[in-house]
Amino acid sequence: MTLNLNEVKKHIAAALLEDIGTGDVSTLCCIDSAATNRAKLIAKEEGVLCGVEIAKMVFETVDADIDFEAFKTDGERLQKGDVIFLVSGKARSILEAERTALNYIQRLSGIATQTAEYVQLIADTGVRILDTRKTTPTMRMMEKYAVKTGGGCNHRIGLYDMIMLKDNHIDFAGGITNAINKARNLTSVTTTWKVEIEVRDLTELKTVLETGNVDRIMLDNFDVETISEAVKMIDGRYEIEVSGGINKSNIRDYALSGVDYISVGALTHNIKALDLSLIQA
């Protein structure tokens, strides 16, 4: 996942309009228009950095004359007290950009940090950790970039780049076999889309295996013991992904069960922003 900078610029413009509106009245009333200053962003806790370039774009969008000097890059491990970047220029501009820049870099660094923690727990197993579509509206590309920065892998980007037959698709289509056959009728024309299907129990898995014609099977909300049984049934014929109820305390058990992928919604859905602070330099 790479960032589309034009899309990021549009997002930043909307975020600044939301925050500044008709003007930063707190700054306008007490900071002289000609005043200049410097500020530095420091880490107040350990973590994985993500969003430096986005923060730079925020400051430059507010004021093209702001000088931005970065000392750290995305993906670096931060220690408490590290200086991440230094900005200098008009004091009003620094204050107007501060909150929006921090909103981006703190959230993205939180995602990268949490992803890195999950990845480290199973680093020796070869199992890959995937994100999901549980992202902040309009921030999916940036949040998936943060997952990659933390060492995770991106699942599908949206509803348009992979066929993923979940429980409601199956139920609405009239069953597993109907859903798979209809998907393959489409991909016979458009062959670039992979087909993944979700199963809720071993009975559904048996139907998928009898039907065939998929690329990946997702075992949803299976316990580890049942996953081990499912892995034996699949016997290497399809990629295996597991999802549901997976956290830091049990992810290793799932990784050792013989699966290929583990998808974790918490990578982007349940995030603590990394504690960073912009202070006068």
| Residues designated as active site | 99, 134, 166, 198, 220
What is the C-alpha separation between 219 and 226, in angstroms, rounded? 9
CA 32 to chain centre: 40
Between the CA of residue 201 and those of 26, 146, 154, 191, 217, what are the distances in Å? 58, 33, 26, 29, 12
Q: Characterize the bridge pairing of strands 83-90 and 67-70.
A: antiparallel
- The contacts of residue 203 (CB under 8 Å, 6+ apart) are none
What is the C-alpha separation between 219 and 111, in angstroms, rounded? 25
Q: Characterize the bridge pairing of strands 77-78 and 47-48.
A: antiparallel
Token digits for 251? 């992810």
